[in-house]
């Protein structure tokens, strides 16, 4: 009687196992990857060129499918790239890492070289490429140019016309000309010359009509052909040449520039004054595209509810393929007032930070105005209009200061000059709200000396609040850097990096703050450093800037290596695992914890070294598993992971056939191990070892049979009948 094994309700005999293994068996051995690219879809042609380059030809609009066939064990990871570089933006995300690259309705710009890269950690990555050539043919376009010299003495009295035919294509296009039904060729008519300009490299065909004759006024056809490759049919265009053929001219029925208030509707009207054939009108703007809400009807462009963002140059273009297109432009200016600012300059002749009675003080007011020539300023004192006088001089422009500035110079400041001064900015055209800026000149302290009253307005000062520098934060936090600003008036604060030439977190080189606080969201380790807060001249004193520095320290968890590592070692041997700290902040207080699963093995603190090591002196089966080393600081932890096992690596493909009377090669049973199908031989089913051994005494080295990992016998036995030959992936 044949030996039997009982696994649950399943009974298997050695004879049945022998029958199962009678078919060819495939086992797996570690192997580096190999790659081959095959195609499907709508290829016109696939040809081999020199240096084993493959060219895949496809018609524009068809579907491209390239499949990357790989071998190797473990199964290689696949990645598609284009032009030997990074992944193309035009790839579908789902296609980049799949075996098959699928591009529906391929376009001409998607042609090029495609690479399939496979790697599994063994040897060098395998890379194969194929060049995709997208074929297409656009409709040809005929343009006409004339050479007229009858009005110039140095030219002959002749009239020559050039008809130029252009078509975009791949492969290169071939052209033919017809006049009516007659084919035109070089030499067939003395009044006709056909040639290709050297610089166009065959992309253009020119028909030259010398000294126009009556028979030259006719219909001319240009036929573009790529010789029906990929089933692309010929394209043609017809141009009618008459004695009235002329290039276009146009006229804009609007002023230039057009100055409007925001919210108005603007209509630009363009008409053609000549041109045969009748020109086509189009509109373009300096911002490359017309506003979304714009309406084009014929030669009229309408912009409803115009905004400042829509200001710019708008051009009407007329084209009829004769001569050069005609173009006329106008500029739309949208009125605007913004960024009202002021600053106070103490007596510029005494280099003093304080305002004093008996000396000069200048109040400056600045706004950004569009259009600048419409800007007007007015000054008020305590709500009443102020006129320029000998002691209070109002100027509208200052060559030393940028445009849009007015100044009020108070000469020989007196106690009666204290009050609120208002700068009012407006535009002559109206329709825009005025901007009013109040500046308060008042006495805070007064002393009598030599019959003069001295008044001081506080100049600015900056300080960092106690405990706010250095400021410690954790990566990802929101932090507020603070500078206390005082002064009357209170100035705007400018923030910048003090330790290096680097942009601020918002990307600018300088940030403004009205309350002295710089708020940083989601702070990162790169933001560690010194930040400078500095007073600006705007909305404050035009004196030497005051500044202070705030230190920002960003803490972050340790970065460690290796993040993940598989360790294989034989039973009874020692295993050493090393976890190294690459960077961390703070780094002075680091501790570590070694664990196997959830069980704490060892803990301690770093001294002078930047790594920690844990050793298993004699590896047992109970010592297999996932070891972790957590390196911990105040901000968090970094983890090294080591997967320790005594299992052998997967095998590569080897094929053999069983024959009872023939001596077989020795192959380890570790080949049956699989990521897709894992089974574990539990003790109640361990008899299967003796059954397989009896069935195949000369095939398998059963010293390694314990490396089989079935979940249970029923699962194993249910799997075998479905597998012939056995292929474990």
Instruction: Name which of 180, 240, 186, 224 is nearest 208 in CA terms.
Output: 186
Q: For position 167, what pLDDT does the model report?
A: 93
Instruction: Name which of 335, 333, 328, 334 is nearest 269 in CA terms.
Output: 328
Q: For the residues 276-303, what does the mean pLDDT come to?
A: 92
Label residue 185 by pLDDT band (50, 70, 90): confident
Q: Is the pLDDT of residue 680 over 80?
A: no
Q: What is the rounded distance in angstroms from the CA atom of residue 53 to the CA atom of residue 44?
A: 17
Q: Is 1 helix (H, G, I), strand (E, B) or coil?
A: coil
3-state SS, one letter per residue, for 13-81: EHHHHHHHCCCCEEECCCEEEEEEEEEEECEEEEEECHHHCEEEEEECCCCEEEEEEEEEECCCEEEEE
Tens of pLDDT, residues 221-277: 999 999 999 999 999 999 999 989 999 999 999 989 999 999 999 999 999 999 999
Tens of pLDDT, residues 65-79: 999 999 988 888 898
Tens of pLDDT, residues 86-115: 444 445 444 576 788 989 999 999 999 999
As given in the structure block, the two tokens for residue 23 are 């078919």
For the chain, give percent helix, strand, coil, nearest 5. Answer: 10, 50, 40
Instruction: Name which of 470, 469, 531 is nearest 502 in CA terms.
Output: 531
Cβ pair 674, 702 in contact under 8 A? no
Q: For the residues 437-455, what does the mean pLDDT come to?
A: 50
Label residue 401 by pLDDT band (50, 70, 90): low
Sign of CA dihedral 221, 225, 227, 231: negative
Q: Is the pLDDT of residue 700 over 90?
A: no
Q: For the residues 708-724, what does the mean pLDDT come to?
A: 38
Sign of CA dihedral 623, 624, 625, 631: positive
3-state SS, one letter per residue, for 589-615: CCEEEEEECCEEEEEEECCCCCEEEEE
If you ran DSSP here, which 8-state letter would residue 322 be given?
B
Cβ pair 458, 546 in contact under 8 A? no
Which long-range contacts (C-beta less than 8 Å, at least 24 apart) are formed by 691-696? 691/3, 691/4, 691/5, 691/12, 691/13, 691/14, 691/17, 692/14, 692/17, 694/3, 694/14, 695/14, 695/15, 695/17, 695/18, 695/21, 696/18, 696/21, 696/658, 696/664
Q: For the residues 453-467, what does the mean pLDDT come to?
A: 68
Label residue 135 by pLDDT band (50, 70, 90): very high
Tens of pLDDT, residues 304-356: 999 999 999 999 999 999 999 999 999 999 999 987 888 888 776 666 667 77
Q: What is the rounded distance in angstroms from the CA atom of residue 116 to the CA atom of residue 462?
A: 61
pLDDT above 90 coverage of the chain, percent: 42
Q: For position 720, what pLDDT does the model report?
A: 40
Label residue 48 by pLDDT band (50, 70, 90): low
Label residue 505 by pLDDT band (50, 70, 90): confident
DSSP 111-124: -EEEEEEEE-SSSS
Q: Is the pLDDT of residue 663 over 60?
A: no
Q: For position 690, what pLDDT does the model report?
A: 44
Q: For position 98, what pLDDT does the model report?
A: 76
Tens of pLDDT, residues 352-377: 667 778 888 888 888 989 998 889 99
Q: For the residues 382-411, what does the mean pLDDT come to?
A: 83
Cβ pair 249, 319 in contact under 8 A? no
Q: For position 349, what pLDDT does the model report?
A: 67
Query: Any residues with CB less than 8 A from the CB of 126 and at least 6 apart, and which?
Result: 32, 33, 34, 35, 70, 72, 76, 117, 118, 119
Q: Is the pLDDT of residue 10 over 60?
A: no
Q: What is the rounded distance in angstroms from the CA atom of residue 589 to the CA atom of residue 712?
A: 49
Name the least confident of 37-41, 208-212, 346-350, 543-547. Answer: 346-350
Q: For position 415, what pLDDT does the model report?
A: 86
How far from 455 is each of 348, 357, 361, 417, 546, CA to CA, in Å? Answer: 17, 6, 12, 11, 22
Q: For position 189, what pLDDT does the model report?
A: 87
- 387-396, 620-629, 668-677, 701-710: range with highest mean pLDDT: 620-629
Tens of pLDDT, residues 142-178: 999 887 544 343 333 457 899 999 999 999 999 999 9
Q: Is the pLDDT of residue 656 over 50?
A: no
Q: For position 443, what pLDDT does the model report?
A: 59
The whole model's pTM is what? 0.57
The counts of H helices and E strands in the chain are 4, 58
Instruction: Name which of 269, 263, 252, 273 is nearest 308 in CA terms.
Output: 263
Q: Is the pLDDT of residue 712 over 90?
A: no
Sheet holding 540-541, edge to edge: 392-395, 405-410, 361-370, 336-346, 540-541
Average pLDDT of the chain, as a whole number: 78
Q: What is the rounded distance in angstroms from the CA atom of residue 103 to the CA atom of residue 114?
A: 12
Q: For position 195, what pLDDT does the model report?
A: 85
DSSP 697-712: TTTEEGGGGGG--BS-
pLDDT above 70 coverage of the chain, percent: 74
Q: For position 594, what pLDDT does the model report?
A: 96
Q: What is the rounded distance in angstroms from the CA atom of residue 724 to the CA atom of residue 673?
A: 16
If you ran DSSP here, which 8-state letter would residue 717 be given?
H
Cβ pair 566, 369 in contact under 8 A? no
How far from 629 is each of 289, 574, 585, 623, 655, CA to CA, in Å? Answer: 57, 18, 18, 15, 42
Label residue 587 by pLDDT band (50, 70, 90): confident
Q: Is the pLDDT of residue 688 over 50?
A: no
Pairing of strands 419-427, 435-441: antiparallel
As given in the structure block, the two tokens for residue 627 are 């070891």
Cβ pair 558, 584 in contact under 8 A? yes
How far from 600 is each of 248, 597, 603, 604, CA to CA, in Å? Answer: 87, 8, 8, 12
Cβ pair 210, 156 in contact under 8 A? no
Pairing of strands 654-656, 25-27: antiparallel
Query: Any residues with CB less than 8 A from the CB of 570 and at least 6 apart, and which?
Result: 619, 646
């Amino acid at each position: 009687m044949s030996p039997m094994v009982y696994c649950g309700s399943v009974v298997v005999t050695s004879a049945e196992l022998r029958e199962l293994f009678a078919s060819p068996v495939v086992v797996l051995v570690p192997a580096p990857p190999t790659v081959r690219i095959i195609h499907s879809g709508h290829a016109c042609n696939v040809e081999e060129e020199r240096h084993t380059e493959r060219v895949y030809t496809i018609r524009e609009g068809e579907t491209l499918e390239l499949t990357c066939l790989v071998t190797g064990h473990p199964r290689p990871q696949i990645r598609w790239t284009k032009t030997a570089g990074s992944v193309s933006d035009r790839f579908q995300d789902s296609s980049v890492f799949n075996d098959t690259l699928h591009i529906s309705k391929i376009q001409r710009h998607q042609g090029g070289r495609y690479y399939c890269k496979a790697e599994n950690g063994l040897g060098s990555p395998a890379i194969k490429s194929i060049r995709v050539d997208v074929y297409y043919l656009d409709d040809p376009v005929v343009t006409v140019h004339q050479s007229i010299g009858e009005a110039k003495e140095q030219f002959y009295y002749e009239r020559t016309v050039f008809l130029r035919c252009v078509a975009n294509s791949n492969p290169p296009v071939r052209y033919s000309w017809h006049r009516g039904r007659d084919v035109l060729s070089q030499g067939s008519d003395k009044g006709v010359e056909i040639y290709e300009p050297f610089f166009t490299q065959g992309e253009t065909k020119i028909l030259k009509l010398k000294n126009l004759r009556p028979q030259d006024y006719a219909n001319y056809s240009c036929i573009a052909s790529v010789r029906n490759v990929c089933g692309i049919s010929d394209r043609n265009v017809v141009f009618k040449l008459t004695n009235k053929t002329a290039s276009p001219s146009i006229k804009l029925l609007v002023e230039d520039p057009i100055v409007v208030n925001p919210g108005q509707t603007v209509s630009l009207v363009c008409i053609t004054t000549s041109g045969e054939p009748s020109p086509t009108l189009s509109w373009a703007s300096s911002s490359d595209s017309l506003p979304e809400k714009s309406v084009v009807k014929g030669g009229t462009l309408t912009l409803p509810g115009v905004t400042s963002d829509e200001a710019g140059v708008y051009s009407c273009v007329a084209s009829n393929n004769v001569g050069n297109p005609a173009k006329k432009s106008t500029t739309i200016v949208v009125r605007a007032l913004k960024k009202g600012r002021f600053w106070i300059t103490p007596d510029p002749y005494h280099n003093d930070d304080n305002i004093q009675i008996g000396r000069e003080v200048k109040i400056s007011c600045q706004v950004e105005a569009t259009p600048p020539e419409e800007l007007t300023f007015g000054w008020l004192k305590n709500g009443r209009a102020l006129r320029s006088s000998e002691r209070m001089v109002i100027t509208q422009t200052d060559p030393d200061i940028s445009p849009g500035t007015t100044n009020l110079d108070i000469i020989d400041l007196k106690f009666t000059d204290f009050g609120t001064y208002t700068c009012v900015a407006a535009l002559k055209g109206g329709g825009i709200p005025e901007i009013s800026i109040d500046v308060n000149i008042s006495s805070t302290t007064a002393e009598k000396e030599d019959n003069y009253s001295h008044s001081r307005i506080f100049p600015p000062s900056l300080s960092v609040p106690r405990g706010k520098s250095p400021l410690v934060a954790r990566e990802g936090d929101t932090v507020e850097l603070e500078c206390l600003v005082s002064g009357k008036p209170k100035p705007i604060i400018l923030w910048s990096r003090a330790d290096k030439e680097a942009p601020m977190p918002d990307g600018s080189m300088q940030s403004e703050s009205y309350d002295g606080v710089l708020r940083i969201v989601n702070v990162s380790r790169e933001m560690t450093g010194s930040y400078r807060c500095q007073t600006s001249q705007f909305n404050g004193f035009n004196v030497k800037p005051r500044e202070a520095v705030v230190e920002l320290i960003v803490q972050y968890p340790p970065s460690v290596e290796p993040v993940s590592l598989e360790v294989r070692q034989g039973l009874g041997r020692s295993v050493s695992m090393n976890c190294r700290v690459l960077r961390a902040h703070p780094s002075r207080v680091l501790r570590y914890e070694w664990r196997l699963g959830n069980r704490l093995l060892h803990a301690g603190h770093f001294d002078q070294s930047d790594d920690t090591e844990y050793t298993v002196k004699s590896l047992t089966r109970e010592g297999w598993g996932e070891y972790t080393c957590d390196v911990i600081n105040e901000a968090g932890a970094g983890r090294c992971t080591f997967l320790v096992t005594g299992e052998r690596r997967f095998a590569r493909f080897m094929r053999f056939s069983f024959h009872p009377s023939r001596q077989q090669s020795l192959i380890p049973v570790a080949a049956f191990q699989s990521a897709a199908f894992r089974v574990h031989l539990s003790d109640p089913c361990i008899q299967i070892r003796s059954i397989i051994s009896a069935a195949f005494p000369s095939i398998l080295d059963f010293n390694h049979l314990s490396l089989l990992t079935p979940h249970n016998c029923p699962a194993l036995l249910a799997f075998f009948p479905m597998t012939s030959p056995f292929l474990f992936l």
